C-alpha cells in the first residue's frame, strides 16, 4: 500500500475552485487573428475568461520540467505555462558531471542500444520513446540554441565550455523568452479536479505563510525523486514503487585499501554477486574504469553495478561480494605463463623490484597483492613457490572484495522507483489514471546508469509531454476561434 498523503478534501476543493485564479494576469479568449468585434459578441466576464484560458502547471523545475515547458510553449504560444520549483531551478543540471553537465551520451544513438543502459525501463522504453526524441535530437536542440557540445571518448557529451552554466542559462533564457513563468521557492502540496475537469492546484510558500490556488487545464509532474511528486501521483490514483538509491560507490571491508586511495584502473571486469539473484545476470558483470577510494571502490564500473543491483543491494542491506578481474584481456593460463617466465628471467631480482610489465596498471597494486598472498616483497623471484604464482594469477583474475555498505556518488542522487511505467502512456506521457495529468523524468520508475542516460530520459520524457500538452492546447484554442467565427456568422 502506498503511504497516504494529505490533499484537498472535497469541501475544501470546491471552495478552492471558486477562488482559484489564473497565474498569468493577461486573459485570452480569441487570438489576434480574430476581430475584436467577434470576441465582443462572445460571453464575457472574468469567469468566462478563466474558463477559456488554456493553462499548464509544471511541478518541478529540473531538466524534464523546464524542457517540457519550452516545448509546450513553442507549440502553443498562447498557452499560459508556469513552472513551480521549491528550490533552485535546474540544480541537478548545475552540479552534474562535476559542474560540467553530462548532457547525454553520444555512443548510444540507436534506441535498441540506448535502452540497455536503463536498469528500470529498458523493457518498456524499447518502443517509440527514444525514437521520438533521442540523443541526436537533444544534441541538435542545444546546438541550435547556442550551446556547442563535444563527445568524449567514453561517449559522454558536454558543452565545450566544460561549464554547466552554459546549459542552465540556455534553458532558462529560452523559457523566459517564450513567456514561461518560472516561480522558485514555492511547492505544490496537492490538487483537486473541479466540476469542469480543471485542476485546482494548491501552491504554498511556507517562509511567508503563503497559500494560493491555481486553475490549470494540464499538470505535468517532473519532481525527480522528491516526495512531493510521489504524493501528488498517489493523490490521483497512482501506485508508487518505493524508491531506493541507485548510482553509488561501494564500501569495502578491507581497511588496507585506504592506503591505495586514488589508484585507478582504466579497464577491469567486475561481477556483483548478490544473494537475491540465483542465476547470473549479464548486467551484473561490467567492464570499464575503476577507482580506489579511501572507503572502498568507485568509478563507472562500480556505479553501473550499483544501478543494476540497486533493489537487491537495498534488500540485502548493501552486503554483497564483488569479484574483480584486473587484467580482463589476458586469459588466466596466459597470466600463469607470464608469471612463470618472469620468475625464470628475474630469478635474482626482488619480487618488489621486478614487476611483469604485461600487467600494466596492476603495478600500482602490486605491493598490496603480495601482502594478500603473504609474500615478502624483498624475497627473490627464485624463491617464490609455484603454488604462490598460481594464487597470484587467480587473484588477479578473480579478486573478491566484501561489500559492506554504500557511499553517495558526489551530490548526484538517483533513485530506482517511483510511478510505474505501466500506469503511463509512453507515447504521450499522460496518466492512465487521470486525464490531462502528465509525468516526466525520475518521478517515474526509470533510472539509467552513469554517462548521461538519466538526463536523456528527462529530455525525452519532457519533450513528449510538452508535445502532447502543446498539441492539446492548440486544438482547444482552435476550437475557441472557430466558436468565435460561428458567433460572427450568426
Grid cell locating 22: 489564473
pTM greater than the 0.75 cutoff: yes
| Chain length of the chain | 490
Alpha carbon of residue 40 to chain centroid: 48
Q: What confidence tens digit (pLDDT) does each residue in 244-288 have?
A: 999 999 999 988 888 889 999 999 999 999 886 655 678 999 999
Domains, the chain, ordered by start: 55-245+413-485 (3.50.50.60), 248-412 (no CATH)
Question: Looking at per-residue confidence, does 32 or 306 come out higher?
Answer: 306
Q: What is the mean pLDDT of the chain?
A: 87
Over range 367-394, report the average pLDDT.
91
Place of cell 542491506: 317
User: Following DSSP, what letter does each residue of 274-316 receive, concatenated?
Assistant: -TT--SPPGGGEEEEEEEE-SSEEESHHHHHHHHHTHHHHHHT
Q: Which residue has the higher pLDDT, 419 or 355?
A: 419
| CA distance linking residue 127 with residue 167, whole number of Å | 28
pLDDT one-digit tens code per residue, 178-232: 999 999 999 999 999 999 999 999 999 977 788 999 999 999 999 999 999 999 9
Residue 245 three-state SS? strand
Instruction: Give me the pLDDT at residue 285, please.
Output: 95
Closest CA relative to residue 115, chosen from 98, 130, 94, 95: 130
49 falls in which pLDDT band (50, 70, 90)?
very low
239, burial (CB in 10 Å: exposed 0-12, middle 13-18, buried 19+): middle
Rounded alpha-carbon distances, angstroms, from residue 192 to 56, 181, 239: 15, 22, 18
Binned at pLDDT 50, 70 and 90, residue 382 comes out as very high
Does residue 184 contact residue 87 with C-beta atoms inside 8 Å?
A: yes
Lowest-confidence segment of 78-92, 174-188, 354-368, 464-478 by average pLDDT: 354-368
Sequence-distant (6+) residues with CB within 8 A of 373 are 388, 391, 392, 395
Of 422, 418, 411, 227, nearest to 311 by C-alpha is 418
* CA distances in angstroms from 215 to 57, 208, 301, 462, listed in the order given: 9, 22, 47, 22
pLDDT (mean) for 73-98: 96
| Confidence band for 435, pLDDT divided at 50, 70 and 90 | very high
- The pairs formed by 41-45 with CB atoms below 8 angstroms and a separation of 24 or more are 41/487, 41/488, 42/483, 42/484, 42/487
Question: With left for phi above 0 and alpha for psi between -120 and 50, is residue 90 left, alpha or beta?
Answer: left
pLDDT at 255: 80
CB count, 10 Å around CB of 60? Answer: 30
Coil, helix or strand for 387?
Answer: helix
The pLDDT tens digits for 147-160 are 999 999 999 999 99
pLDDT in tens, 105-152: 999 999 999 999 999 999 999 999 999 999 999 999 999 999 999 999
Look at residue 419 and tell me whether its pLDDT is greater than 90: yes
Amino acid at each position: 500500500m502506498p503511504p497516504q498523503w494529505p490533499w484537498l478534501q472535497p469541501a475544501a476543493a470546491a471552495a478552492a475552485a471558486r477562488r482559484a485564479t489564473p497565474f498569468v494576469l493577461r486573459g485570452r479568449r480569441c487570438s489576434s487573428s480574430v476581430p475584436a468585434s467577434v470576441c465582443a459578441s462572445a460571453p464575457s466576464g472574468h469567469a468566462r475568461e478563466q474558463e477559456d484560458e488554456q493553462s499548464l502547471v509544471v511541478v518541478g523545475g529540473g531538466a524534464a520540467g523546464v524542457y517540457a515547458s519550452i516545448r509546450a510553449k513553442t507549440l502553443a504560444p498562447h498557452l499560459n505555462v508556469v513552472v513551480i520549483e521549491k528550490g533552485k531551478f535546474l540544480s541537478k543540471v548545475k552540479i552534474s558531471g562535476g559542474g560540467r553537465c553530462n548532457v547525454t551520451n553520444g555512443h548510444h544513438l540507436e534506441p535498441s542500444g540506448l535502452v540497455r543502459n536503463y536498469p528500470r525501463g529498458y523493457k518498456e522504453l524499447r518502443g517509440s520513446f527514444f525514437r521520438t526524441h533521442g540523443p541526436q535530437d537533444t544534441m541538435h536542440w542545444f546546438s541550435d540554441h547556442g550551446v556547442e557540445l563535444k563527445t568524449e571518448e567514453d561517449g559522454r557529451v558536454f558543452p565545450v565550455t566544460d561549464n554547466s552554466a552554459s546549459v542552465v542559462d540556455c534553458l532558462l533564457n529560452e523559457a523566459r523568452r517564450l513567456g514561461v513563468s518560472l516561480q522558485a521557492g514555492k511547492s505544490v502540496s496537492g490538487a483537486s479536479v473541479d466540476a469542469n475537469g480543471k485542476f485546482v492546484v494548491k501552491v504554498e510558500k511556507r517562509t511567508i505563510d503563503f497559500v494560493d490556488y491555481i486553475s490549470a487545464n494540464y499538470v505535468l509532474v517532473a519532481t525527480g525523486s522528491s516526495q512531493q511528486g510521489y504524493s501528488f501521483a498517489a493523490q490521483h490514483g497512482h501506485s508508487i514503487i518505493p524508491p531506493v538509491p541507485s548510482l553509488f560507490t561501494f564500501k569495502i571491508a578491507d581497511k588496507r585499501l585506504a592506503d591505495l586511495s586514488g589508484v585507478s584502473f582504466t579497464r577491469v571486469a567486475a561481477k556483483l554477486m548478490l544473494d537475491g539473484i540465483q542465476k547470473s545476470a549479464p548486467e551484473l558483470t561490467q567492464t570499464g574504469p575503476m577507482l580506489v577510494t579511501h572507503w572502498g571502490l568507485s568509478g563507472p564500473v562500480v556505479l553501473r553495478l550499483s544501478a543494476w543491483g540497486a533493489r537487491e543491494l537495498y534488500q540485502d542491506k548493501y552486503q554483497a561480494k564483488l569479484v574483480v578481474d584486473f587484467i580482463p584481456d589476458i586469459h588466466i593460463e596466459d597470466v600463469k605463463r607470464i608469471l612463470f617466465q618472469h620468475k625464470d628471467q628475474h630469478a635474482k631480482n626482488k619480487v618488489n623490484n621486478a614487476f611483469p610489465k604485461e600487467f600494466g596498471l596492476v603495478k600500482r597494486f602490486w605491493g598490496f597483492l603480495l601482502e594478500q598472498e603473504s609474500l615478502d616483497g624483498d624475497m627473490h623471484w627464485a624463491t617464490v613457490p609455484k603454488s604462490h604464482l598460481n594464487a597470484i594469477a587467480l587473484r588477479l583474475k578473480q579478486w573478491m572484495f566484501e561489500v559492506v555498505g554504500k557511499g553517495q556518488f558526489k551530490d548526484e542522487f538517483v533513485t530506482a522507483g517511483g510511478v510505474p511505467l505501466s500506469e503511463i502512456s509512453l507515447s504521450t506521457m499522460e496518466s492512465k489514471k487521470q486525464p490531462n495529468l502528465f509525468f516526466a523524468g525520475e518521478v517515474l520508475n526509470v533510472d539509467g546508469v552513469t554517462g548521461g542516460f538519466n538526463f536523456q530520459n528527462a529530455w525525452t520524457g519532457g519533450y513528449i509531454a510538452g508535445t502532447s500538452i502543446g498539441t492539446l492546447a492548440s486544438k482547444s484554442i482552435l476550437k475557441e476561434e472557430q466558436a468565435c467565427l460561428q458567433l460572427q456568422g450568426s
